[in-house]
Structure 1
Amino acid sequence: MVQQSENVTPPSIEGLLVLVCEDEGLICILLEDMLEDAGCSIVGPYSSISETMEAIETVEFDVALVDLGLADGPSDPVLEELGARSKFFAIMSGNTTIGDFDAAASLPKPFTFDDVVDTLRLLAQRRSDLSQT
């Protein structure tokens, strides 16, 4: 869980465009509901590496939630492309080892609504910090 200082107002995630790369249908439905309840907009979901790579090039989004393992292989190419484009993302996985991606946060599965919101706030804060430099 991401901890915030008592004196710091967490960044708003209202209206955040969240690209979702996930191949499990039930998790996609759960994320869609959670993102909607949090005031975010879902972009996708995309279930394969090729679909996600195309979306990264063609659709507008602010941050991404990416499953580490997709039906067509590990999502490393997606993660590398997001990093190359300076996009902040969280890696969703039940696996405890997620690799070394500078722009990444971790969203361990299974996750709760609060876990998703905290992770999105962290990504939104990193994004805001980057735009202020």
Structure 2
Amino acid sequence: MKTLELKLKDGEEEVKVHLRLTCGGQRKLKEKYEEDTLTTLLGGFNEIDKTIDIFDTALNYKDNDNTIKSGEELYDLMVDNDYCGIEAFAKVVTDIAVASGIIKKEQANSVLKSVEDTYDSVFNDLENVIEKAENKDTPTKN
């Protein structure tokens, strides 16, 4: 079965996980969130509950060989392996979608580029606001 494989370190031990949203898994997410699978996946970029449910479902497909069974455990292990920020988790979620036949690799790349551009813009704007605030003349500043 086609899956996304992640190799993570748990202390000194290497842990491999295989992730896949089977048809049954996609239906489970659709029923829970009452929206199409792609909308749920996109929401999983920045909504922790959806991220954990996506990981739970992708870990626990039929006949998997994963030793990790919890989306929370996977998330925490990924953080321990330097996954951080929306871009890192968006990449994993889109890679799961590609491995599961939900979107094509080219579509995943477009989504990730959009996420990167959006967050670059947000943080650039934030830096500009901070810089302006620091340079603003105040009654106590000479």
**TM-score relative to the length of structure 2:** 0.30
Between Structure 1 and Structure 2, which shows a larger proportion of strand residues?
1
More helix by share: 2
Normalising by structure 1, report the TM-score: 0.32
Kindly name which structure, 1 or 2, has the bigger radius of gyration based on alpha carbons. 2
